[in-house]
Every structure is written in C-alpha cells, then in structure tokens.
Amino acid sequence: MTLTATETPVTDLTVTPEPRLDAFAQLQLAEPLARAVAEMGYESMTPIQAQAIPVVLQGRDVMGAAQTGTGKTAAFSLPLLQRMLKHENSSTSPARHPVRALVLLPTRELADQVAQQVKLYAKYTNLRSAVVFGGIDMKPQTLELKKGVEVLVATPGRLLDHIEAKNAVLNQVEYVVLDEADRMLDIGFLPDLQRILSYLPKQRTTLLFSATFSSEIKRLASSYLQDPVTIEVARSNATASTVEQHFYSVPEDDKRRALHQILKSRGMKQAFVFVNSKLGCARLARSLEREGLKTTALHGDKSQDERLKALESFKGGEVDLLVCTDVAARGLDIKDVPAVFNFDVPFNAEDYVHRIGRTGRAGASGLAVSFVSAKDARLVADIEKLIKTKIELEAVEFDEDQPDIHKQGRINDGRRMYSPEREETVRRERASPRDYARPTQAARDPFFDKPYEASVAATDDVKPTWEPTVRAGGRSLSANIKSKRKVAALFTASST
Ligand code: AMP
C-alpha cells in the first residue's frame, strides 16, 4: 500500500538524524585536538581521514594511496598526536621531549607545509614539533632540535646531516610516516631512507603514503611495513574527476600564444604552468613577463627564500602565473588554483597526475590544459595508459587579435629568429594537428612496455634489492649498487 502525504501519521515524520559516519565527533579525539580541528573549520572527515584515522589509532601500519589535497596530513597527524598525548608534558628538559614521530617528505616546500599543519593540530597540546630541510642554515634548526621535539618533519638529506651532527637522536621514535614515498624514490632518496630507517627502533608504527602504488613502492612497503592495512581513497593513478582536462595540439612555437588565448577566453586570472626543465622554466617566465603577465618562476635552483617568496606572492594574488618544474611544485598546497597548464607534457606520466592535482582540489572544479607538440606522441600515450582514458587532441582556436608571437620573429625568448623553414614546419603542424601528434604503433616496441625485472639468477638472493645494508660511518651505498670489484669478478668468471 502506498501512503499519500495526508495519510502519513505525523509522528512518523519526526526522524532522529543518523549520526554522520564521517563526522570528527565519531573519533572521540582528545579535547585539545578536537578543538584544533574545530578551529580549522573542518566539518567532516575526508575519505582518507575516515579510513586511515581509526586504523592508525589502533596502532596498525598503513599503506595509503592518496594524493596531496585529499587531507592526508590530518589523516596521519591527528591519530599520531592522539597516541602521543600520553607522553605530553610541560617540562623544559629536552630529555622529556624526545623525537617520537618522524615524518619524511621529498621536498622543502612539502615539509614546510606539513609541519605548519602539524603545528596547528598540536596547538592546544604540549607536544612540540619542528621541521628540518636543506637549502637553509642548519643552526636555527639545531637549536630547535636541541630543545627537544616530539614530532620531527624532515627531508631525508638534511635529517641525515642532523643525525651525523648528533642534533637528532631517533632511538625513541615510535611512529614513522613516509609521505609522498613515490616521489622520494623518484628523486633517488632510497639510500637515505634506508639509512634513516636503520636508526629507528624496530618496534614502531610505519605509515607509507604514495600517490601511486608502483611495484617499487610495494617492495618498499614489504621491506619496512608490518602487515599494513591498505587504504586507497581513489583508484590508484586516478585523476580527480572534478578536473576538466584538455589536450591541445600546439606547435612548440605557438604554445605561449595558446596560453594567452586560453587564459583570455576562459577569463582566468591565475594558473600554474608546468615545464620540464629549470632552464625552460626561467626562460618561459621571463618571456611571459615581457608579454604582460605577472609571472614568477619556481624551480630547484631558486633558494628557499626565493621559493617561499614566489609562493607567497602567488597566494597573495600579486603574481598571476607560477611557472614551475615538477620537483619545485611537488606538494604545494595552494587551494583554488583555477587552472594548471602543462606547457611541456611531463616525461613521467605519473607527474601528469601530480601536476593536475593542484587544481580541482577538495571538491572545487578545475581546468588542466596540456600543450602537445609533435615530439610528445609517446608521452601522451603513456598518460593515456596511466589514467586509462582515451585522450582526444583538440586544436586551439586563436582570436584574430591574439598576437602571433611566432610571426614577431622572436621565438623562445629571442634565442631563435624567424626563418622561412621554421615557418613551414609550424604551418604543417598547424594544418594537421591530429595526424602528427598521434602515437604511431610501429614506433612502439612492446619490450619497452614491460617493467624491468632482474632475473633470479642475477640476484644474490630473493630479498628486495634495497633490503637495508647499512655500512658503519659515512653515507652508505644503496644495496642495489654493486661494488666495482664485484663487476670485475664477473668479467673474470665469464672469461674463464
Ligand atoms: P593535505 O592533503 O593534507 O595537503 O590537505 C589539503 C588541504 O585540505 C589542507 O589545506 C587542509 O587544511 C584541508 N583539509 C584537510 N582535512 C580537511 C577536512 N576534513 N575538511 C576540510 N578541509 C580539510
């Protein structure tokens, strides 16, 4: 029987609302932490928080697939702080504030941002936190470490410097977070990580977060995590569904013009512009500045001070475009960036996912535009494979009043001048953008698609190749770097 509205008894309409499963109140965080969370204005937990916080509170190891922007800093910080509250004290003695939680990150900016967030969450507790990263004077960091801190946020290289200088003692660490682990491996931090982890007590909770679960990440996890709970908040390698993605066929020399055109046609004020090299970054920033856009470059050669200033001016709206390289931009937490431009298609498809993660964050919609030139066919095919989405190349429609930078004879920051041959190449590329940019089947050898795997006979044993093998004194070599002597021995063996 169906009830009409008038037949429904009034009492049945008074429904007690179900408590929200994602409400922070569900966690019963200690009052100082709950107060800090309320002050941050968080109303409900993000998916990674709802899944990870209860697990970390139970003391389990976690392997989390989550990108920056998903709220993962709170997902690990809050339960760690909650568990450390039992050690909280107001003593001024450094000995009463040993490092109990260590958070490792790949870049200075990311370390700085995570440390700032940890400070906010720990604001009403007596737990102390500090951050150490390279590129700046060690002395102020040393002074802070010597006073004693419970939570240490660090980049691996600088942390090792402090360990060597005996400023940081890690024998009471109970919790380790390897954040953006995939990027730490990309940058080549594996030997440093192995070394740092070898200084830590075996009995500990280890949390590993990575945007993607590559086979290398899985091997890292199997070496250092114990029976971890795997948490994936989105399909690994997934791109945020709120991001509108476009791939435009643009000849190299038209890219700046296309950038102007899209900014103008979309009425956009601010954007990140990604390039693949430091040199290209500085050059492009200079060119765009000359063309009337307020632009700042952010790359690895910039001092820490310059990077922070660049960020601040972008956040403050004094700068419209932040031209950056992948390493420099990794983990930047800038909300509401309306657009990300891939001026260069990234060499590494995973960087595409990271780059466009700057826009469309926390439910906001964003725009990701990639400029694809003739040489990028293979890279686009890699992205297509990773994001499991067919990429359609589009053509940019230029307004008549949009200056043709190429025609002005100053190309690529004036390094190359206009020539009829180049004009012809550009003309051909413009005429048939789809044809030249599509990957050709014949160019692909399936052999190169297979991940590299060492044959069992070539390895000493079946342990992961980076199983810690730390030498006393000095920075050790990675276990997967064989000594020269061994190579020589191999040759001798084969020649006999
Ligand atoms: P993260 O992924 O940790 O870098 O966080 C990205 C941004 O989301 C940060 O600015 C956080 O302050 C914010 N954030 C984290 N958790 C929440 C939440 N539950 N509700 C709203 N914003 C959040």
What is the domain-level CATH number for residue 149?
Answer: 3.40.50.300
Nearest Cα residue to atom 14 of ligand 1:
71
How close is the Cα of 162 to the center of ligand 1, in Å? Answer: 30
Q: What is the percent of the chain where pLDDT is above 90?
A: 50
What average pLDDT does range 363-388 have in this prediction? 88
Q: Is the pLDDT of residue 72 over 70?
A: yes
Most confident of 85-94, 289-298, 402-411: 85-94
pLDDT at 157: 96
How close is the Cα of 259 to the center of ligand 1, in Å? Answer: 30
Please identify, among 341, 375, 408, the residue that sits at the C-terminal boundary of a domain. Answer: 408
Taking the C-alpha atoms of residue 135 and residue 206, their distance in angstroms, rounded to an integer, is 27
Higher-pLDDT residue of 141, 44: 141
pLDDT at 226: 95
Taking the C-alpha atoms of residue 399 and residue 214, their distance in angstroms, rounded to an integer, is 43
Nearest-Å Rg of the Cα atoms of the chain is: 26
The answer to whether position 427 is within a domain reads no
Nearest Cα residue to atom 19 of ligand 1:
45
Same domain membership, residue 300 and residue 224: no
Residue located via tokens 């191999």: 490
| Residue 71 in contact with ligand 1 by CB distance below 6 A | yes
Same domain membership, residue 225 and residue 262: no
User: Which of 29, 33, 73, 105 is the best mutation target for the ligand 1 pocket, counting ligand atoms within 8 Å of the beta carbon and taking the most?
Assistant: 73
Most confident of 139-153, 434-448, 468-482: 139-153
| pLDDT tens string 316-338 | 889 999 999 887 776 565 666 78
Same domain membership, residue 123 and residue 44: yes
How close is the Cα of 407 to the center of ligand 1, in Å? Answer: 46
Single out the residue of 185, 212, 200, 187 nearest to residue 101, CA to CA.
200
Number of domains in the chain: 2
**Please, are residues 207 and 178 in contact by the beta-carbon 8 Å criterion?**
yes
pLDDT at 315: 82
In which band, very low, low, confident or very high, does the pLDDT at 305 lie, cut at 50, 70 and 90? confident
The answer to whether position 353 is within a domain reads yes
Q: Is the pLDDT of residue 50 over 80?
A: yes
| Residue 74 in contact with ligand 1 by CB distance below 6 A | yes
Taking the C-alpha atoms of residue 403 and residue 230, their distance in angstroms, rounded to an integer, is 52
- Residue 286 CB: number of other CB atoms within 10 A? 15
Please identify, among 408, 424, 441, the residue that sits at the C-terminal boundary of a domain. Answer: 408
Same domain membership, residue 153 and residue 97: yes
The answer to whether position 448 is within a domain reads no
Nearest Cα residue to atom 18 of ligand 1:
42
How close is the Cα of 202 to the center of ligand 1, in Å? Answer: 31
The answer to whether position 460 is within a domain reads no
User: Which of 22, 27, 40 is the best mutation target for the ligand 1 pocket, counting ligand atoms within 8 Å of the beta carbon and taking the most?
Assistant: 40
Same domain membership, residue 306 and residue 209: no
The answer to whether position 472 is within a domain reads no
Instruction: Point out the least confidently predicted range of 262-276, 297-311, 376-390.
Output: 297-311
What average pLDDT does range 464-471 have in this prediction? 34
| pLDDT tens string 204-227 | 999 999 987 888 899 999 999 999
How close is the Cα of 113 to the center of ligand 1, in Å? Answer: 11
| Residue 333 in contact with ligand 1 by CB distance below 6 A | yes
Q: Is the pLDDT of residue 348 over 70?
A: yes
Token code pair at residue 413: 């920051």
Same domain membership, residue 198 and residue 107: yes
How close is the Cα of 71 to the center of ligand 1, in Å? Answer: 4
pLDDT at 404: 56
Same domain membership, residue 199 and residue 293: no
- Residue 430 CB: number of other CB atoms within 10 A? 18
In which band, very low, low, confident or very high, does the pLDDT at 386 lie, cut at 50, 70 and 90? confident
Same domain membership, residue 182 and residue 298: no
**Please, are residues 205 and 61 in contact by the beta-carbon 8 Å criterion?**
yes
**Please, are residues 180 and 144 in contact by the beta-carbon 8 Å criterion?**
no
In which band, very low, low, confident or very high, does the pLDDT at 56 lie, cut at 50, 70 and 90? very high
How close is the Cα of 28 to the center of ligand 1, in Å? Answer: 19
Mean pLDDT for all residues in the chain: 78
What average pLDDT does range 460-478 have in this prediction? 35
Taking the C-alpha atoms of residue 32 and residue 125, their distance in angstroms, rounded to an integer, is 6
Taking the C-alpha atoms of residue 176 and residue 152, their distance in angstroms, rounded to an integer, is 10
What average pLDDT does range 303-323 have in this prediction? 83
Same domain membership, residue 226 and residue 259: no
Q: Is the pLDDT of residue 472 over 50?
A: no
Same domain membership, residue 329 and residue 302: yes
Nearest Cα residue to atom 11 of ligand 1:
71
- Residue 113 CB: number of other CB atoms within 10 A? 21
**Please, are residues 56 and 76 in contact by the beta-carbon 8 Å criterion?**
yes
| Residue 331 in contact with ligand 1 by CB distance below 6 A | no
Beta carbons within 8 Å of 182's beta carbon, 6+ residues apart: 210, 211, 212, 214, 216, 217, 350
The answer to whether position 476 is within a domain reads no
Helix (H, G, I), strand (E, B) or coil at 250: coil
User: Which of 21, 33, 42 is the best mutation target for the ligand 1 pocket, counting ligand atoms within 8 Å of the beta carbon and taking the most?
Assistant: 42
| pLDDT tens string 387-441 | 888 899 999 888 776 555 544 433 333 333 334 444 555 455 555 544 434 333 3
Single out the residue of 198, 179, 201 nearest to residue 77, CA to CA.
179
How close is the Cα of 333 to the center of ligand 1, in Å? Answer: 9
| Residue 362 in contact with ligand 1 by CB distance below 6 A | yes
Token code pair at residue 160: 């090792």
| Residue 46 in contact with ligand 1 by CB distance below 6 A | yes
Beta carbons within 8 Å of 57's beta carbon, 6+ residues apart: 27, 79, 82, 83
pLDDT at 353: 84
pLDDT at 480: 33
Nearest Cα residue to atom 8 of ligand 1:
71
Nearest Cα residue to atom 21 of ligand 1:
42
The answer to whether position 32 is within a domain reads yes
Same domain membership, residue 30 and residue 106: yes
| Residue 72 in contact with ligand 1 by CB distance below 6 A | yes
The answer to whether position 440 is within a domain reads no
Q: Is the pLDDT of residue 149 over 60?
A: yes
How close is the Cα of 116 to the center of ligand 1, in Å? Answer: 12
CA 411 from centre of chain = 32
| Residue 69 in contact with ligand 1 by CB distance below 6 A | yes
| Residue 358 in contact with ligand 1 by CB distance below 6 A | no
| Residue 70 in contact with ligand 1 by CB distance below 6 A | yes
Same domain membership, residue 175 and residue 38: yes
Please identify, among 210, 232, 254, the residue that sits at the C-terminal boundary of a domain. Answer: 232
Please give the helix or strand (H or E) that residue 485 lies within, else none.
Answer: helix 484-495
In which band, very low, low, confident or very high, does the pLDDT at 341 lie, cut at 50, 70 and 90? very high
What average pLDDT does range 155-181 have in this prediction? 97
User: Where are the alpha helices (H) located in 291-438, listed in sequence order?
Assistant: 304-315, 326-329, 349-356, 377-387, 420-431, 433-437
| pLDDT tens string 3-46 | 333 333 333 333 344 444 578 888 889 999 999 999 998 888 98
| Residue 68 in contact with ligand 1 by CB distance below 6 A | yes
Q: Could you list the residue range(s) of the whole structural domain that residue 68 is in? A: 24-232
How close is the Cα of 73 to the center of ligand 1, in Å? Answer: 7
